[in-house]
Amino acid sequence: MKKANAIRSEFIQFFVDRGHTFVRSSSLLPIGDPTLLFTNAGMNQFKDVFLGTGTRPYKRATNSQKVLRVSGKHNDLDEVGRDTYHHTFFEMLGNWSFGDYYKREAIQWAWELLTEVWGLPIDRLYATVHHTDDEAAALWRELTPLPAERIMRFGDKENFWEMGETGPCGPCSEIHYDLGPEACDKGHVPGHRCGVNGGCGRYVELWNLVFIQYNRKADGTLEELPAKHVDTGMGFERIVAILQGKKSNYDTDLFTPIIEEILTLTGAGLEREEERVAVRVVADHIRALTFAISDGVLPANEGRGYVLRRILRRAARFARNLGAKEPLLHRLVPVVVREMGEAYPEIKEQAEHCSRVILAEEEAFGRTLDKGLALFADLSRNLRAEGKKIIPGAEAFKLYDTYGFPLDLTELMAAEEGLVVERDEFNRLMEAQRARARAGSQFGGDETNVHWEIVSSGTHSQFVGYEQLQTTTELRMIGTDDEYFRLVFAVTPFYAAGGGQVGDTGLIRVEVTPGSFVEFPVVDTQREQDKIVHLVAKRADFPRRAVSYTLLVDEARRKMTAANHTATHLLQAALRRLLGAHVQQAGSLVAPDRLRFDFNHYQRVDEDQLRQVEREVNQQIFAALPVRAEETDYQTALNRGALAFFGEKYGDRVRTLAVGDYSFELCGGTHVRNTAEIMAFRIITEGSVATGVRRIEAVTGWGALQMAAEERELLKELSALLQTEPAQLTEKVRALLATEAKLKKDLDAIARKAALAEGEELFAAVQEIGGHYYLVAKMTTASMDLMRETVDRFKDKYRSGVILLGAAQDDKVNFVAGVTKDLTAKLQAGNLVKQVAAITGGGGGGRPELAQAGGKNVDKLDEALREGERLIRTGLEG
């Protein structure tokens, strides 16, 4: 049986032999494309070429692209695992032509690979073309032995590709494979007829050949493109299943090692369909998690991180269904790395980081899941007590959105309790969430409504800011919006924001007429596709025609920014030396007044480690290391040991930055020429940003010296205030803290004694109903601990009873309720405090036997306690 890794290699080598350049898969995190949550197609990294805003040094390309899809047709997350062929993460094999070969070669090579190299039976292959594409249909007849009835024409829905409402587009030709009559999964559907694009599992799409030959104009009409492109994509998992003779993608060697490990770790089997679904979910999702986290995506509460968290929690829940008592997913990462690390070395490099992030999330979700189960138990108990049998859709959605419970799990638990879920409201809330997620997901240009005007022709946006901070140039384009003129020049020394570094500011000096000048402040510099855009506030009209335009960067600001950028490189190198090679940049800000560096690490960097890092960076500054920049090709830079971070977008030509022999990275930012220019480095703060991501903020130069001066003044003030020398401050503060702790302990003992005495007095007011005792009272102490202790003493003294205590302090109200176990069928402490707290504008809850709550309206305390007594008496009398 041909192995998956061999199939991938054969595809790539086939096209390399035909003049294609192998291009590394881009990150799952789309760089420079805010319109996508995740990379969802092989063509994403070439989008700028198709749009005409970018170029490549090659005309032909091939690769296997990592793809993550969690929405859209057949990609709903909650459906993955329920069949044998849909996935969240998968690979897309592809080959591209950028204005080089076209339909003939694309069709000929696809057929050659499928039938001659891989030996697929011709009688199982079908080709589809757009109903207007006579050229493609004729080529299929000419180049292949396919009979006319297996070259089929379809409309726009099936065979026309568009990037958006406007822009590049064209017909496509698909190759389909007949899996045989037994693969049809719609035989029970009345009127179903098996066929290509018939909607059943028999005929599967293998390969889509897109021919980008038109431009869709704003009025909807099509015009021929001057250069025609080819964009193809073939699902790797699907072709592997076919070549390995498997009915299910999960039976291929892409998944079987993972599945075997799941079964070993859980002791589960594959006899029941519920087990098979759970195993498929976990196997699919651990691949998605491993690759996404390795590419820099981290679980979070919004955006990409929220999607990743949903995937992880769904996998963790299904792992529990398989019997996993402890976190399981992180133990599967080594299997994914072992099987796929050769093709994607970035997951090898990030394996430990990935495992740690997943483990932390699993542990957190375990606690969340337990809370969700407790919430469901309370919800079902309350509904039954009220004689209701329908779980509101909003409650089911809360379980889904907050606690990771998919609807089917909630419905299953509901059925066990004799309840049903109100689906319509749940679906409405789910669709609203999906609509929010889809916002901004369509490809388009800059969101700002900018009107562009071409002033002069010629090349533009040549950056010369590494060598000079002033230049005289020509204005090429001017854009206007509500706030700014957006200016594009032929040449510019202004650095456009990128790589974490802020954009330059400065001046544009316009010589309107000979000897007559007007100056315009540049407030920011940005990159918009291939343009370096200088933002000038619209205070006066900007001259379209002038004798000259002189661009002057704010030199002092640039120097401070450069110092912070070089210091960021030193910081990263120091962290990697001290903490380990897993440290990788997860985000940064390089500004003139400070730097911020986010990096992968699993625990707090303690004070001793921070001191070591700070000392290490300053040593490199004082060593006056030379800083050297050089441009080279990407692979040469990697071979020389340059640090490149997967998830960053690098071109074929890259800029390397060496700081002595201490740091060597790929970087396009601006830097000092010698580390001595940084002067000094001081860490301000270190903290957590997200699971597995830490943040260090620091200052350099005069900012570091100013920080030292402020600290010196602070020490002087504290010394004067505490009447001691700076060297004795620590000892003095320790003594004060010890005295404070002793006084607090004494006060707590007095308060506890008073509360116990007050409790004994309150017990004199205990009342009896039918052999049960109850007490409703207002205490003078508002300490929850002391109130709970009073409740415990009541329950020890009265073996069958209910107690409700309330107390007010400042602008806060506290309630504690206790119910002995024999009475929880009549009264529950959680429900009791929730109802009385609501009167005071608060809320709370807890267990049936013990609960607490808080409120805001102190004036309503007496009323709340009266209502509490009424509820208790009603419950005991009932």
Residue ranges of the annotated binding site are 565, 569, 667, 671
Q: Give every CB contact of residue 196 below 8 A, 6+ residues apart in sequence.
A: 126, 128, 152, 176, 203
Tell me which residue of 539, 547, 552, 555 sits closest to 475, measured CA to CA: 547
Tell me if 439 sits within 8 A of 460, measured CB to CB.
no
What is the token pair recorded at 258? Answer: 């993972």
Class of residue 273 by CB neighbours under 10 A (exposed 0-12, middle 13-18, buried 19+)? exposed
Q: Furthest-apart CA pair in the chain: how many Å?
A: 105
Binding site as annotated, residues for Zn(2+)? 565, 569, 667, 671
Mapped onto helix, strand or coil, the DSSP state of residue 726 is helix
What is the rounded distance in angstroms from the CA atom of residue 269 to the CA atom of residue 282?
A: 14
What is the token pair recorded at 101? Answer: 């070969």
Angle at 537 between CA 534 and CA 539, to 5 degrees: 140
What is the rounded distance in angstroms from the CA atom of residue 371 to the CA atom of residue 146?
A: 60
What is the rounded distance in angstroms from the CA atom of residue 39 to the CA atom of residue 45?
A: 8
What's the distance, Cα to Cα, between the start and end of the chain in Å? Answer: 73
Q: Give every CB contact of residue 299 below 8 A, 6+ residues apart in sequence.
A: 305, 308, 309, 312, 357, 361, 690, 691
Any idea what DSSP says for residue 503?
P
What is the rounded distance in angstroms from the CA atom of residue 874 to the CA atom of residue 671?
A: 76
Which DSSP string do the residues of 60-116 spell out, in sequence order? EEEEEEEEE--SSTT--GGGTTSSSS--SEEEEEEEEEESS--HHHHHHHHHIIIII
**CA torsion through residues 403, 405, 411, 416, sign:** negative
Which residue bears the tokens 């499928």?
114
Tell me if 772 sits within 8 A of 878, measured CB to CB.
no
Which DSSP string do the residues of 727-749 spell out, in sequence order? GGHHHHHHHHHHHHHHHHHHHHH
Which residue bears the tokens 């980008």?
212
Any idea what DSSP says for residue 681?
E
What is the rounded distance in angstroms from the CA atom of residue 556 to the CA atom of residue 558?
A: 5
Other beta carbons less than 10 A from residue 461's beta carbon: 20
Angle, nearest 10°, between helix axes 256-266 and 333-340?
160
What is the rounded distance in angstroms from the CA atom of residue 674 to the CA atom of residue 190?
A: 77
**CA torsion through residues 429, 430, 431, 436, sign:** positive
Q: Give every CB contact of residue 609 below 8 A, 6+ residues apart in sequence.
A: 578, 579
Tell me which residue of 518, 517, 525 sits closest to 494, measured CA to CA: 525
Mapped onto helix, strand or coil, the DSSP state of residue 658 is strand
Element (H, E) at 704: helix 701-722
Angle at 759 between CA 757 and CA 765, to 5 degrees: 120
Tell me if 668 sits within 8 A of 498, measured CB to CB.
yes
What is the rounded distance in angstroms from the CA atom of residue 97 to the CA atom of residue 670?
A: 35
User: Exposure string (b/e) for 536-571, b if CB count within 10 Å is 16 or more?
Assistant: beeeeebbeebeebebbbbeebbbbbbbbbbbbbbb
Any idea what DSSP says for residue 199?
S
